[in-house]
Amino acid sequence: MNIPYRRFTEYQPVDIARLRPGGSYAQLIAKRTHPIDELVRVHGRIPEDLLRPRPCPTCGRSTPIHELDKDHMQLVRCGTCDLVYVTPTFDEGHYLEVYASQEYQDIVRDLGIKSHDYRVERFGKERLGLMQRHLAEARPRYLDVGCSTGFVVEAARDAGWEAIGIDLNPSAIEFGRGRGLDLRSVALDDGGFEPASFDAVSLFDVLEHLIDPAGTLRACARLLRPGGIVFLYVPNYDSASRLLMGRDAHFIWPTHHLNYYTPSTIGDLVRRQGLTLEVIVTEGLTKDDYVLVLVPAGRRFDWPKLRAHLGVSRLSLPDADEARDVTGYERYTITPFGSTRPWPVILDAAATDEPVVAIGGGGFGINVHLTPADLVRALDAEVVQVSEAEA
Protein backbone atom coordinates (compact mmCIF):
# COMPACT_ATOMS: atom_id res chain seq x y z
CA MET A 1 0.00 0.00 0.00
CA ASN A 2 1.20 3.47 -0.81
CA ILE A 3 -0.03 6.68 0.84
CA PRO A 4 1.12 9.53 -1.36
CA TYR A 5 2.21 12.62 0.48
CA ARG A 6 0.81 15.78 -1.06
CA ARG A 7 2.44 19.07 -0.47
CA PHE A 8 0.24 21.78 0.95
CA THR A 9 1.00 23.89 -2.12
CA GLU A 10 -0.48 21.19 -4.37
CA TYR A 11 -3.98 21.50 -2.96
CA GLN A 12 -6.52 23.08 -5.25
CA PRO A 13 -8.48 25.70 -3.37
CA VAL A 14 -12.24 25.33 -2.89
CA ASP A 15 -14.36 28.39 -3.60
CA ILE A 16 -16.85 28.19 -0.73
CA ALA A 17 -19.08 30.90 -2.20
CA ARG A 18 -19.58 28.85 -5.37
CA LEU A 19 -19.77 25.49 -3.59
CA ARG A 20 -22.34 26.68 -1.03
CA PRO A 21 -24.21 29.44 -2.89
CA GLY A 22 -26.39 31.87 -0.95
CA GLY A 23 -27.37 30.63 2.48
CA SER A 24 -27.38 26.95 1.48
CA TYR A 25 -24.79 25.82 4.01
CA ALA A 26 -26.58 27.60 6.86
CA GLN A 27 -29.77 25.89 5.65
CA LEU A 28 -28.09 22.49 5.74
CA ILE A 29 -26.89 23.07 9.29
CA ALA A 30 -30.32 24.34 10.36
CA LYS A 31 -32.01 21.28 8.82
CA ARG A 32 -29.31 18.87 9.92
CA THR A 33 -31.60 16.92 12.23
CA HIS A 34 -34.69 17.08 10.00
CA PRO A 35 -35.52 13.33 10.28
CA ILE A 36 -35.82 13.50 14.08
CA ASP A 37 -37.03 17.05 14.73
CA GLU A 38 -40.68 16.06 15.06
CA LEU A 39 -39.85 13.10 17.35
CA VAL A 40 -37.74 15.28 19.61
CA ARG A 41 -40.41 18.00 19.69
CA VAL A 42 -43.08 15.49 20.78
CA HIS A 43 -41.07 13.10 23.00
CA GLY A 44 -38.03 15.16 23.98
CA ARG A 45 -35.81 12.43 22.47
CA ILE A 46 -35.97 9.58 19.96
CA PRO A 47 -38.27 6.89 21.43
CA GLU A 48 -36.27 3.75 22.09
CA ASP A 49 -38.66 1.44 20.26
CA LEU A 50 -37.83 3.18 16.97
CA LEU A 51 -34.16 2.31 17.32
CA ARG A 52 -32.34 -0.99 17.17
CA PRO A 53 -28.82 -1.85 18.29
CA ARG A 54 -26.45 -2.56 15.47
CA PRO A 55 -23.38 -4.79 15.47
CA CYS A 56 -20.16 -3.37 14.03
CA PRO A 57 -20.73 -3.00 10.26
CA THR A 58 -17.15 -4.05 9.52
CA CYS A 59 -16.45 -7.04 11.78
CA GLY A 60 -19.98 -7.99 12.88
CA ARG A 61 -19.09 -8.09 16.59
CA SER A 62 -21.03 -6.24 19.31
CA THR A 63 -18.26 -4.81 21.50
CA PRO A 64 -19.17 -1.09 21.51
CA ILE A 65 -17.26 1.46 23.58
CA HIS A 66 -18.96 4.84 23.97
CA GLU A 67 -17.28 7.53 21.83
CA LEU A 68 -19.58 10.58 21.82
CA ASP A 69 -23.20 11.78 21.75
CA LYS A 70 -24.64 14.22 19.24
CA ASP A 71 -28.12 15.05 17.89
CA HIS A 72 -29.81 12.56 20.28
CA MET A 73 -27.72 9.72 18.86
CA GLN A 74 -24.56 7.91 19.91
CA LEU A 75 -21.23 7.08 18.25
CA VAL A 76 -19.32 4.08 19.56
CA ARG A 77 -15.91 2.61 18.83
CA CYS A 78 -15.76 -1.11 18.07
CA GLY A 79 -13.69 -2.84 20.78
CA THR A 80 -12.74 -5.51 18.23
CA CYS A 81 -11.78 -3.68 15.00
CA ASP A 82 -11.68 0.02 16.11
CA LEU A 83 -14.34 1.27 13.66
CA VAL A 84 -16.37 4.25 14.92
CA TYR A 85 -20.07 3.89 14.07
CA VAL A 86 -23.57 4.91 15.13
CA THR A 87 -25.65 2.57 17.27
CA PRO A 88 -28.52 2.17 17.83
CA THR A 89 -29.93 3.27 14.47
CA PHE A 90 -33.29 3.43 12.75
CA ASP A 91 -34.10 0.60 10.35
CA GLU A 92 -33.12 0.73 6.68
CA GLY A 93 -36.59 1.82 5.53
CA HIS A 94 -36.30 4.97 7.62
CA TYR A 95 -33.13 6.04 5.80
CA LEU A 96 -34.66 5.36 2.38
CA GLU A 97 -37.50 7.70 3.41
CA VAL A 98 -35.02 10.31 4.65
CA TYR A 99 -33.20 10.50 1.32
CA ALA A 100 -36.45 10.65 -0.66
CA SER A 101 -38.00 13.22 1.73
CA GLN A 102 -38.90 16.73 0.64
CA GLU A 103 -36.53 18.19 3.25
CA TYR A 104 -33.56 16.25 1.95
CA GLN A 105 -34.44 17.02 -1.66
CA ASP A 106 -34.54 20.70 -0.74
CA ILE A 107 -31.08 20.38 0.81
CA VAL A 108 -29.73 18.72 -2.33
CA ARG A 109 -31.44 21.25 -4.57
CA ASP A 110 -29.83 24.13 -2.72
CA LEU A 111 -26.44 22.54 -2.25
CA GLY A 112 -26.20 20.36 -5.34
CA ILE A 113 -28.17 21.87 -8.20
CA LYS A 114 -27.15 25.50 -7.75
CA SER A 115 -23.49 24.49 -7.55
CA HIS A 116 -23.61 21.73 -10.19
CA ASP A 117 -21.45 23.53 -12.78
CA TYR A 118 -18.86 24.38 -10.15
CA ARG A 119 -18.85 20.77 -8.89
CA VAL A 120 -18.23 19.43 -12.41
CA GLU A 121 -15.24 21.76 -12.80
CA ARG A 122 -13.76 21.48 -9.32
CA PHE A 123 -14.62 17.92 -8.19
CA GLY A 124 -15.87 16.04 -11.28
CA LYS A 125 -12.71 16.63 -13.30
CA GLU A 126 -10.43 16.02 -10.32
CA ARG A 127 -12.09 12.67 -9.54
CA LEU A 128 -11.97 11.74 -13.22
CA GLY A 129 -8.23 12.47 -13.25
CA LEU A 130 -7.75 10.27 -10.19
CA MET A 131 -9.61 7.39 -11.86
CA GLN A 132 -7.80 7.85 -15.18
CA ARG A 133 -4.43 7.49 -13.47
CA HIS A 134 -5.41 4.01 -12.29
CA LEU A 135 -7.46 2.67 -15.23
CA ALA A 136 -5.97 1.10 -18.34
CA GLU A 137 -8.94 1.73 -20.66
CA ALA A 138 -9.14 5.04 -22.51
CA ARG A 139 -12.96 4.99 -22.47
CA PRO A 140 -14.00 2.93 -19.44
CA ARG A 141 -17.51 1.76 -18.64
CA TYR A 142 -18.24 3.49 -15.35
CA LEU A 143 -20.97 3.46 -12.69
CA ASP A 144 -21.22 6.21 -10.03
CA VAL A 145 -23.26 4.95 -7.07
CA GLY A 146 -24.85 7.83 -5.12
CA CYS A 147 -24.19 10.24 -7.99
CA SER A 148 -26.35 13.15 -6.70
CA THR A 149 -26.84 15.54 -9.66
CA GLY A 150 -24.28 13.62 -11.73
CA PHE A 151 -21.38 16.07 -11.55
CA VAL A 152 -18.80 13.27 -11.84
CA VAL A 153 -20.86 11.42 -14.48
CA GLU A 154 -20.94 14.64 -16.53
CA ALA A 155 -17.15 15.05 -16.39
CA ALA A 156 -16.78 11.38 -17.39
CA ARG A 157 -19.27 11.62 -20.26
CA ASP A 158 -17.53 14.75 -21.56
CA ALA A 159 -14.26 12.78 -21.59
CA GLY A 160 -15.88 10.08 -23.73
CA TRP A 161 -16.55 7.50 -21.02
CA GLU A 162 -19.67 5.33 -20.96
CA ALA A 163 -20.91 6.76 -17.66
CA ILE A 164 -24.02 5.85 -15.66
CA GLY A 165 -25.12 7.25 -12.28
CA ILE A 166 -27.65 6.04 -9.73
CA ASP A 167 -29.07 7.85 -6.72
CA LEU A 168 -32.12 7.59 -4.45
CA ASN A 169 -32.87 11.32 -4.64
CA PRO A 170 -35.39 11.89 -7.49
CA SER A 171 -34.84 15.69 -7.72
CA ALA A 172 -31.11 15.28 -8.24
CA ILE A 173 -31.63 12.54 -10.86
CA GLU A 174 -34.24 14.58 -12.71
CA PHE A 175 -31.88 17.56 -12.85
CA GLY A 176 -28.99 15.46 -14.22
CA ARG A 177 -31.18 13.75 -16.81
CA GLY A 178 -32.14 17.21 -18.01
CA ARG A 179 -28.45 17.68 -18.86
CA GLY A 180 -28.55 14.54 -21.02
CA LEU A 181 -26.81 12.28 -18.48
CA ASP A 182 -27.62 8.58 -18.06
CA LEU A 183 -28.85 8.83 -14.47
CA ARG A 184 -31.30 6.41 -12.85
CA SER A 185 -33.28 6.69 -9.64
CA VAL A 186 -32.76 3.11 -8.44
CA ALA A 187 -31.02 1.25 -5.63
CA LEU A 188 -27.87 -0.67 -6.58
CA ASP A 189 -29.58 -4.06 -6.16
CA ASP A 190 -32.50 -3.00 -8.38
CA GLY A 191 -30.41 -1.52 -11.18
CA GLY A 192 -30.38 -4.72 -13.28
CA PHE A 193 -26.66 -4.29 -13.99
CA GLU A 194 -24.81 -7.30 -15.45
CA PRO A 195 -22.12 -8.76 -13.17
CA ALA A 196 -18.56 -8.11 -14.37
CA SER A 197 -19.67 -5.36 -16.76
CA PHE A 198 -17.88 -2.22 -15.46
CA ASP A 199 -14.25 -1.09 -15.47
CA ALA A 200 -14.85 1.34 -12.61
CA VAL A 201 -17.47 1.78 -9.90
CA SER A 202 -17.32 4.72 -7.52
CA LEU A 203 -18.81 5.36 -4.08
CA PHE A 204 -18.01 9.02 -3.48
CA ASP A 205 -19.23 10.08 -0.02
CA VAL A 206 -21.61 7.11 0.16
CA LEU A 207 -20.30 4.41 2.53
CA GLU A 208 -20.65 6.62 5.59
CA HIS A 209 -24.44 6.78 4.98
CA LEU A 210 -25.10 3.03 4.85
CA ILE A 211 -26.39 0.51 7.40
CA ASP A 212 -24.51 -2.22 5.52
CA PRO A 213 -21.46 -0.69 3.81
CA ALA A 214 -19.77 -4.10 3.50
CA GLY A 215 -22.71 -5.52 1.52
CA THR A 216 -22.72 -2.52 -0.83
CA LEU A 217 -18.96 -2.78 -1.36
CA ARG A 218 -19.32 -6.46 -2.26
CA ALA A 219 -22.18 -5.65 -4.65
CA CYS A 220 -19.95 -3.06 -6.37
CA ALA A 221 -17.08 -5.55 -6.58
CA ARG A 222 -19.35 -8.05 -8.34
CA LEU A 223 -20.01 -5.48 -11.07
CA LEU A 224 -16.31 -5.16 -11.90
CA ARG A 225 -14.64 -6.74 -14.89
CA PRO A 226 -11.35 -8.53 -14.07
CA GLY A 227 -8.88 -5.82 -13.06
CA GLY A 228 -11.67 -3.30 -12.43
CA ILE A 229 -11.46 -0.78 -9.61
CA VAL A 230 -13.81 0.54 -6.92
CA PHE A 231 -13.07 4.18 -6.00
CA LEU A 232 -14.16 5.35 -2.52
CA TYR A 233 -14.32 8.73 -0.82
CA VAL A 234 -15.20 8.93 2.88
CA PRO A 235 -14.67 11.59 5.55
CA ASN A 236 -11.56 10.93 7.64
CA TYR A 237 -12.30 10.53 11.36
CA ASP A 238 -8.59 11.06 12.05
CA SER A 239 -8.62 14.40 10.21
CA ALA A 240 -7.31 17.55 11.83
CA SER A 241 -10.81 19.09 11.72
CA ARG A 242 -12.22 16.30 13.89
CA LEU A 243 -9.26 16.39 16.26
CA LEU A 244 -9.57 20.14 16.66
CA MET A 245 -13.36 20.42 16.75
CA GLY A 246 -14.31 17.06 18.27
CA ARG A 247 -18.02 16.34 18.04
CA ASP A 248 -18.62 19.73 16.40
CA ALA A 249 -16.75 18.72 13.23
CA HIS A 250 -19.26 19.21 10.41
CA PHE A 251 -19.18 15.64 9.12
CA ILE A 252 -20.18 14.18 12.49
CA TRP A 253 -23.81 13.97 11.47
CA PRO A 254 -25.26 10.87 13.12
CA THR A 255 -28.77 11.14 11.63
CA HIS A 256 -27.17 10.67 8.19
CA HIS A 257 -23.57 9.50 8.67
CA LEU A 258 -23.63 6.08 10.30
CA ASN A 259 -19.97 5.00 9.84
CA TYR A 260 -16.75 6.98 10.52
CA TYR A 261 -13.60 5.66 8.85
CA THR A 262 -9.88 6.32 9.20
CA PRO A 263 -7.18 5.26 6.72
CA SER A 264 -6.72 2.19 8.89
CA THR A 265 -10.39 1.15 9.28
CA ILE A 266 -11.34 1.78 5.63
CA GLY A 267 -8.41 -0.43 4.61
CA ASP A 268 -9.68 -3.10 6.98
CA LEU A 269 -13.20 -2.94 5.49
CA VAL A 270 -11.86 -3.21 1.94
CA ARG A 271 -9.65 -6.23 2.67
CA ARG A 272 -12.40 -8.09 4.51
CA GLN A 273 -14.48 -8.02 1.28
CA GLY A 274 -11.69 -9.79 -0.61
CA LEU A 275 -10.59 -6.63 -2.40
CA THR A 276 -6.99 -5.46 -2.74
CA LEU A 277 -6.23 -2.01 -1.39
CA GLU A 278 -4.20 -0.25 -4.08
CA VAL A 279 -3.84 3.30 -2.81
CA ILE A 280 -5.10 5.66 -0.08
CA VAL A 281 -4.87 9.43 -0.38
CA THR A 282 -5.81 11.88 2.37
CA GLU A 283 -6.83 15.40 1.41
CA GLY A 284 -6.10 18.40 3.55
CA LEU A 285 -4.75 18.01 7.04
CA THR A 286 -4.63 14.77 8.91
CA LYS A 287 -3.04 13.94 12.22
CA ASP A 288 -1.04 11.36 10.32
CA ASP A 289 1.23 13.64 8.34
CA TYR A 290 4.69 12.29 8.95
CA VAL A 291 7.76 12.11 6.77
CA LEU A 292 10.96 10.17 7.42
CA VAL A 293 14.07 12.22 6.65
CA LEU A 294 17.39 10.39 6.34
CA VAL A 295 20.41 12.58 7.01
CA PRO A 296 24.00 11.29 7.34
CA ALA A 297 25.46 11.20 10.84
CA GLY A 298 27.61 14.24 11.48
CA ARG A 299 25.34 16.60 9.54
CA ARG A 300 22.31 18.43 10.84
CA PHE A 301 18.84 19.25 9.56
CA ASP A 302 18.47 22.43 7.63
CA TRP A 303 14.96 23.14 8.94
CA PRO A 304 14.19 26.11 6.65
CA LYS A 305 15.15 24.07 3.57
CA LEU A 306 13.01 21.13 4.72
CA ARG A 307 10.02 23.39 5.43
CA ALA A 308 10.40 25.07 2.05
CA HIS A 309 10.62 21.70 0.30
CA LEU A 310 7.50 20.34 2.01
CA GLY A 311 5.63 23.61 1.60
CA VAL A 312 4.71 23.82 5.28
CA SER A 313 5.32 26.54 7.83
CA ARG A 314 5.67 24.26 10.85
CA LEU A 315 7.52 21.01 11.40
CA SER A 316 8.46 19.22 14.56
CA LEU A 317 10.26 16.11 15.71
CA PRO A 318 7.96 13.66 17.51
CA ASP A 319 8.92 12.62 21.01
CA ALA A 320 9.98 9.03 21.67
CA ASP A 321 6.45 7.72 22.36
CA GLU A 322 4.94 9.33 19.29
CA ALA A 323 7.83 8.12 17.12
CA ARG A 324 7.27 4.56 18.36
CA ASP A 325 3.51 4.77 17.63
CA VAL A 326 4.13 6.11 14.16
CA THR A 327 6.93 3.77 13.07
CA GLY A 328 6.63 0.78 15.38
CA TYR A 329 10.30 1.21 16.38
CA GLU A 330 12.06 2.48 19.49
CA ARG A 331 14.11 5.63 19.10
CA TYR A 332 17.63 4.86 17.75
CA THR A 333 16.29 1.75 15.94
CA ILE A 334 13.85 3.55 13.63
CA THR A 335 14.00 2.50 9.98
CA PRO A 336 11.67 3.00 7.00
CA PHE A 337 11.91 -0.76 6.32
CA GLY A 338 8.94 -2.47 7.97
CA SER A 339 7.53 0.72 9.42
CA THR A 340 3.87 0.52 10.51
CA ARG A 341 2.92 2.52 7.43
CA PRO A 342 4.96 3.33 4.34
CA TRP A 343 5.69 6.92 5.32
CA PRO A 344 7.20 9.09 2.61
CA VAL A 345 10.99 9.15 2.75
CA ILE A 346 13.37 12.00 1.98
CA LEU A 347 17.03 11.13 1.55
CA ASP A 348 19.47 13.95 2.08
CA ALA A 349 21.46 14.66 -1.07
CA ALA A 350 24.70 14.49 0.91
CA ALA A 351 24.13 10.73 1.37
CA THR A 352 24.29 10.12 -2.37
CA ASP A 353 28.02 10.99 -2.41
CA GLU A 354 28.77 7.76 -0.55
CA PRO A 355 29.26 4.40 -2.33
CA VAL A 356 27.42 2.55 0.44
CA VAL A 357 25.27 3.86 3.30
CA ALA A 358 24.35 2.14 6.56
CA ILE A 359 20.88 2.74 7.98
CA GLY A 360 19.07 1.41 11.03
CA GLY A 361 17.70 -2.11 10.76
CA GLY A 362 14.92 -2.04 13.34
CA GLY A 363 16.91 -3.21 16.37
CA PHE A 364 19.80 -2.00 18.51
CA GLY A 365 23.12 -2.67 16.78
CA ILE A 366 21.51 -3.81 13.52
CA ASN A 367 22.41 -1.91 10.36
CA VAL A 368 21.43 -2.38 6.75
CA HIS A 369 24.17 -1.58 4.19
CA LEU A 370 23.18 -0.63 0.66
CA THR A 371 23.95 1.81 -2.12
CA PRO A 372 22.12 5.16 -2.08
CA ALA A 373 20.59 4.25 -5.47
CA ASP A 374 19.11 1.02 -4.05
CA LEU A 375 17.85 2.92 -1.01
CA VAL A 376 16.06 5.45 -3.21
CA ARG A 377 14.56 2.69 -5.36
CA ALA A 378 13.44 0.49 -2.45
CA LEU A 379 11.79 3.32 -0.52
CA ASP A 380 10.68 5.45 -3.48
CA ALA A 381 12.59 8.20 -1.68
CA GLU A 382 12.96 11.78 -2.79
CA VAL A 383 16.52 13.09 -2.83
CA VAL A 384 16.67 16.63 -1.46
CA GLN A 385 19.42 18.81 0.01
CA VAL A 386 18.13 19.13 3.60
CA SER A 387 21.28 19.09 5.74
CA GLU A 388 24.25 21.24 6.42
CA ALA A 389 27.67 20.36 7.77
CA GLU A 390 27.79 20.52 11.56
CA ALA A 391 29.68 23.60 12.70
Please state the closest distance from residue 160 (CB atom) to Zn ion, in A.
42
- Cβ-defined contacts of 356-363 (< 8 Å, 24+): 357/296, 359/294, 359/335, 360/329, 360/332, 360/333, 360/334, 360/335, 361/333, 361/335, 361/337, 362/329, 362/333, 362/335, 362/337, 362/338, 363/333
Q: CA 189 to CA 157: how far, in whole Å?
A: 23
Residue closer to Zn ion, measured from CB, 63 or 371: 63
Q: Kindly tell me the number of DSSP H helices and DSSP E strands found in the chain.
A: 15, 16
Please state the closest distance from residue 86 (CB atom) to Zn ion, in A.
13
Q: CA 142 to CA 165: how far, in whole Å?
A: 8
Q: CA 85 to CA 213: how far, in whole Å?
A: 11
Residue closer to Zn ion, measured from CB, 268 or 388: 268
Q: Among 123, 138, 130, which residue's Cα sits nearest to residue 199?
A: 138
Please state the closest distance from residue 58 (CB atom) to Zn ion, in A.
5
Please state the closest distance from residue 265 (CB atom) to Zn ion, in A.
8
Residues at the interface with Zn ion (CB under 5 A): 56, 58-59, 78, 80-81, 83
Residue closer to Zn ion, measured from CB, 55 or 362: 55
Q: CA 288 to CA 266: how far, in whole Å?
A: 15
Residue closer to Zn ion, measured from CB, 265 or 387: 265
Please state the closest distance from residue 308 (CB atom) to Zn ion, in A.
43
Q: Return the biggest CA–CA distance within the chain.
A: 77
Residue closer to Zn ion, measured from CB, 78 or 206: 78
Please state the closest distance from residue 78 (CB atom) to Zn ion, in A.
3
Q: CA 135 to CA 209: how far, in whole Å?
A: 27
Residue closer to Zn ion, measured from CB, 57 or 165: 57
Residue closer to Zn ion, measured from CB, 213 or 360: 213
Query: How far is Cα of residue 80 from the mean position of the Cα atoms in its chain?
Result: 22
Virtual torsion, Cα 333, 338, 343, 344, nearest 10 deg: 90
Please state the closest distance from residue 246 (CB atom) to Zn ion, in A.
22
